Amino acid sequence: MRFLILGGDSRNIMLAQCLAHAGHNVQMSGLGNDSENQTPIIVKIKEAINSYDYIVGPLPFTIDGENLHMPLSKDTVKLNDLIDVFTGNKVLIAGKIPVNFTEKLIENDIAVYDYLDRDEMSILNSIPTAEGAIQIAMEELPITIHGVNALVLGYGKTGKTLAGKLHALGANTYVCARKSVDFALCEVNNLYSTDYKKVDSIIQNMDVIFNTVPAIVLDSTRLSHVRRDCLIIDLASKPGGCDFDYAKENGIKIIHALSLPGKVAPITAANILYKVIEHIIDERS
Amino acid sequence: MRFLILGGDSRNIMLAQCLAHAGHNVQMSGLGNDSENQTPIIVKIKEAINSYDYIVGPLPFTIDGENLHMPLSKDTVKLNDLIDVFTGNKVLIAGKIPVNFTEKLIENDIAVYDYLDRDEMSILNSIPTAEGAIQIAMEELPITIHGVNALVLGYGKTGKTLAGKLHALGANTYVCARKSVDFALCEVNNLYSTDYKKVDSIIQNMDVIFNTVPAIVLDSTRLSHVRRDCLIIDLASKPGGCDFDYAKENGIKIIHALSLPGKVAPITAANILYKVIEHIIDERS
Amino acid sequence: MRFLILGGDSRNIMLAQCLAHAGHNVQMSGLGNDSENQTPIIVKIKEAINSYDYIVGPLPFTIDGENLHMPLSKDTVKLNDLIDVFTGNKVLIAGKIPVNFTEKLIENDIAVYDYLDRDEMSILNSIPTAEGAIQIAMEELPITIHGVNALVLGYGKTGKTLAGKLHALGANTYVCARKSVDFALCEVNNLYSTDYKKVDSIIQNMDVIFNTVPAIVLDSTRLSHVRRDCLIIDLASKPGGCDFDYAKENGIKIIHALSLPGKVAPITAANILYKVIEHIIDERS
Amino acid sequence: MRFLILGGDSRNIMLAQCLAHAGHNVQMSGLGNDSENQTPIIVKIKEAINSYDYIVGPLPFTIDGENLHMPLSKDTVKLNDLIDVFTGNKVLIAGKIPVNFTEKLIENDIAVYDYLDRDEMSILNSIPTAEGAIQIAMEELPITIHGVNALVLGYGKTGKTLAGKLHALGANTYVCARKSVDFALCEVNNLYSTDYKKVDSIIQNMDVIFNTVPAIVLDSTRLSHVRRDCLIIDLASKPGGCDFDYAKENGIKIIHALSLPGKVAPITAANILYKVIEHIIDERS
């Protein structure tokens, strides 16, 4: 396959290497590799576009809603200009692509895949997220994960992987969930489980608490049960799942850890993009 | 809570013990414990019904569509007669309840819960099913599970639990699935995965194959790749997922193993019903 | 390498297949394959002996102390006659070889290896032994191994492997040991541990007890704490580690399970002999 | 029991807390808590000694061979002076106690226990050591431990625990060992194993290598097979097991990680001392 990697951060450079390593024909643009003072990227892309089957854009696609996210390049590419460029039997793969942009491309017969629509992407990302969370716990705690009392709030994709790894490392792992299917899955996976009513009674025994729920589950009431030497690692995307003010006033340490895959394992993060692209290729064949 | 356990097989007797053990008030009827030559069960139930909050029926609720499934009793109870009996603020919990029967009860303000609608039930049942399948493999194979090449077809509830236990026992565990999320989950769970196109190339290396898919995935073509000393255990409900005729003609051993929980671990099977009932009580409180 | 497989049971036939499969030159004698009414085996061996580097004998080498253990053959071979046959730069590998026989061979410059002197053999055999014990527990218990309270008496080679597999299958696994190093190893391996003083207080909670200690650890006092529905599997070689009379009188079920590898996984058992032989070859090179 | 904690670093302060928490009567001396400008410690100890059953000293007992290791105190205590103080039916527990000092105490009827003679101590310490090593790998590698190719050199106490945890985290874990029993144990524990002859052929595939062998196993020849992006973590005590000069010249990153328990998990490290002391008390009762 012939790939044009267009914009994005260093993850896209590593992704280009993965694709090339797998035998694909790969070209990069807007990644700081275009020689300066010359033809604008958009023109070059226009000239080159017919040589590629797949165009791989950044994640996120745009920050300001107008320009392609292209932090490693001095050049800029307007989304509006791209619409005319993307023609023919092409496939675009990128992340968080604006809806109206996607619609226009589909009108132009472009097949569009958004990473964020791919459940397997968040499942695979749960691996570096869980490891990153465990790494932080190892760094911060004066005790080993082995034998620690650990509570995982939420049993979605990240909660499942994290609880599994904590258990594998010998932590006494408790999961707090809502649904009866989750309690059943915890039993299958040899994890202690509790619900949000009963969790308060065990919270004071915890040495570390990981939150994966994007809602204020660690409110002031629940935080009031937390021991002062307990570490809280909040993995929920902004604004997180804790009453940070209450925690600060009461000397409870919370680390709000975001975007862990790119931080703790950038090559793995790029490799996950690669795997998703391979799946897409497989599905199209 | 006050429970009337009504009909069903020995599982319901054990379930009654679980409920009593947990401190509930439990009465059994239609389980061979009613003294003979006396008032018909239906009359006794009618008299007693107001003393109970929960009526727990059999799984399946009926075999012939007309009578309650009550194999341990010499008496019979017609579903039609039951409808008039079930009145007031009662809850009925049973399995595979006929739709029209459920509808009539709901009209009578009875809350109806069917085990088969409870996903946590099939998740919990996947534990004895997986163990039963492994027990059969241990009994049949002249080699240990440890180090065996094992293929699990399908990665639903049973496939997940089974593959996890095989891996835990040291089997080289391969999962054949269709969806990209399943491949991602296999990666999280350290399992080799393949799809239905590529599985044929590894099938000849397998020592044991477990099917969990309710469709003919092991057709004659695929079976033609299976080694003669490979054991196949089909866990899919009737008619199963194999071309049994082809297998027989070609000396391939297939064991069609059904209803394993009740067979290999009847007390666990009853205990699972108990857990589901506890969940229902929790949800109603 | 050129191997002469001499006597023994069906395990030696499977061993011959393993060796041949690995590319070695293999001949069998005294395994029921010698044509009848002809030259006695001992004469044939004498003629053939120079063609082989390794002679692989039975395990055990002899039952009566006079003749080679050769249950599959109608012929007999006296140990005394073998001494003269084994000459030159040969290697003998077998199990439980009588000491005086070994001494005479060594005088004749024969290198002698006894399986029973090989610790790796008992470690490898602990795998089928543990699986066999678990298989019996699965067959006998009306509950799953998953979630069972299991006690392993002794933390030697078999105890370690068995406890590890029980834990992996989701059993609440307790180990009873004597030495502080064993308590430490249990902690490393996430197992509950107790000593022989404290074990009596937990014994009544156990659903299954596995004994690996070759001494009467389950005496009448300790058995008096065992629940009637608890299953005991005694893996200790004769006479075992239980007061069987007391158990019988009191309705406690004990299964004395011996020689499990050959029974539950004969090909694996043969393969273990093969691996030990490969190690010996490696060490000699 | 009544304990005098005498000298040592912050681990001994935390140990005192563990012992007090367990209900023992605990006094500290030489840990910076003695008020200044007053009676010398040695005098106070002399006066107090009869009130204690156990004296717990530092690990190591002495750095210079003359004075007790007491880095948190401004005072000094000469070993020679201690000999006269230790009288009566006392027990001394400490680490790396000089042989001649131990002999003199034994003459005085003091029971002496050295941590370093306790195998369970090094087994328990293998847990924080393994976690610390994994933490470093997580921090240094741009990929996750999950899916990494990891080689552990040596399969002693640390090697066993480390390889087990790497496997549990989803690493492709290879162990390099010498003895056939170790290969057998690796098989039991589902680990790939190799010996020092064959390891060179896989070394180039490794992403991370952990050395636990106190000998130069990673010499220049072996290092020449290591990839430039491979991380080496040397856990062997000084001088370590690598040709550090060769590594430096050739751009291979080696981290020589020593005394990890105290660094990454000081409370766990103190707790391990506590557990050893509990074992000693148990053995003496």
One-letter amino acid at B105 equals L
Q: What is the pLDDT of residue B62?
A: 96
Under-70 pLDDT residues of chain A: 33-38
Q: Strand pairing partners for C218?
A: C242
Complex ipTM tops 0.95 = no
Tokens of C127: 């795998």
Q: Assess whether pLDDT exceeds 60 at residue B36.
A: no
- The Cβ of residue A271 has, within 10 Å, a number of other Cβ atoms equal to 21
Q: Please say whether the beta carbons of A102 and A114 come within 8 A.
A: yes
What is the distance in angstroms between the Cα of C24 and the nearest Cα belonging to chain D?
21
- Pairwise CB contact (< 8 Å): C180 & D120: yes
The full DSSP string for A265-284 is -HHHHHHHHHHHHHHHHHHH
pLDDT tens sequence across B233-277: 999 999 999 999 999 999 999 999 999 999 999 999 999 999 999
What is the distance in angstroms between the Cα of D203 and the nearest Cα belonging to chain A?
21
Domains in chain B: boundaries: 2-117, 121-262
Which residue does chain C place closest to A167, by CA atoms? Answer: C190
Which residue does chain B place closest to A161, by CA atoms? Answer: B188
Q: Please say whether the beta carbons of A137 and A233 come within 8 A.
A: yes
pLDDT tens sequence across C67-112: 999 999 988 899 999 988 887 789 999 999 999 999 999 998 999 9
Q: Assess whether pLDDT exceeds 80 at residue D39.
A: no
Q: What is the pLDDT of residue B35?
A: 61
pLDDT tens sequence across C131-154: 999 999 999 999 999 999 999 999
Report chain C's mean pLDDT, rounded to a whole number. Answer: 94
State whether CATH 3.40.50.720 applies to domain B121-262: yes
Number of separate helices (H) and strands (E) present in chain C: 11, 11
Cα dihedral value C210, C212, C215, C217, nearest 10 = -30
Among partner residues C181, C195, C283, which is closest to D120 by beta-carbon distance? Answer: C181
- Sorted by sequence, the CB contacts under 8 Å of residue D115 that are 6+ apart come out as D59, D93, D94, D95, D96, D121, D273, D276
pLDDT tens sequence across B146-169: 999 999 999 999 999 999 999 999
- Strands of chain D, DSSP E: 2-6, 25-29, 54-56, 91-94, 111-114, 149-153, 172-176, 192-194, 208-211, 231-234, 253-256
Q: What is the pLDDT of residue A285?
A: 85
pLDDT tens sequence across B163-195: 999 999 999 999 999 999 999 999 999 999 999
Which residue does chain C place closest to B165, by CA atoms? Answer: C169
What is the distance in angstroms between the Cα of D144 and the nearest Cα belonging to chain B?
12
Q: Is the CB of residue A161 less than 8 Å away from at least one CB of chain B?
A: yes
- Pairwise CB contact (< 8 Å): A183 & B283: no
How many interchain CB pairs under 8 A, A with D? 69
Q: Please say whether the beta carbons of D171 and D148 come within 8 A.
A: yes
Q: What is the pLDDT of residue B153?
A: 98
pLDDT tens sequence across C21-79: 999 999 999 998 666 556 778 888 888 888 899 999 999 999 999 999 999 998 889 99
pLDDT tens sequence across B112-128: 999 999 999 999 999 99
Q: Is the CB of residue C190 less than 8 Å away from at least one CB of chain A?
A: yes
Instruction: Tell me if residue D227 falls in helix, strand or coil.
Output: coil
How many interchain CB pairs under 8 A, B with D? 4
Burial classification of residue B112, based on how many CB atoms lie within 10 Å of its CB (0-12 exposed, 13-18 middle, 19 or more buried):
buried
Of B49-53, D28-32, D140-144, where does the model show the most confidence?
Answer: D140-144
CATH class of C2-117: alpha beta
Which residue does chain A place closest to B195, by CA atoms? Answer: A282
Q: Is the CB of residue B144 less than 8 Å away from at least one CB of chain D?
A: no
In this structure, the strands spanning D2-6 and D54-56 are parallel
Which residue does chain A place closest to C190, by CA atoms? Answer: A170
Q: Assess whether pLDDT exceeds 80 at residue D38.
A: no
Among partner residues D169, D265, D271, which is closest to A168 by beta-carbon distance? Answer: D169
- Pairwise CB contact (< 8 Å): B170 & D190: yes
Tokens of D220: 């220049």
Instruction: Tell me if residue A198 falls in helix, strand or coil.
Output: coil
CA atoms within 13 A on the CB side of C192: 15
Q: What is the pLDDT of residue C42?
A: 84
Q: What is the pLDDT of residue D69?
A: 96
What is the distance in angstroms between the Cα of D167 and the nearest Cα belonging to chain A?
9
Burial classification of residue B46, based on how many CB atoms lie within 10 Å of its CB (0-12 exposed, 13-18 middle, 19 or more buried):
middle
Cα dihedral value B155, B156, B162, B168, nearest 10 = 60
Q: Is the CB of residue D207 less than 8 Å away from at least one CB of chain A?
A: no
For residue A266, list chain D residues with Cβ-Cβ distance below 8 A: 142
Q: Is the CB of residue C185 less than 8 Å away from at least one CB of chain D?
A: yes
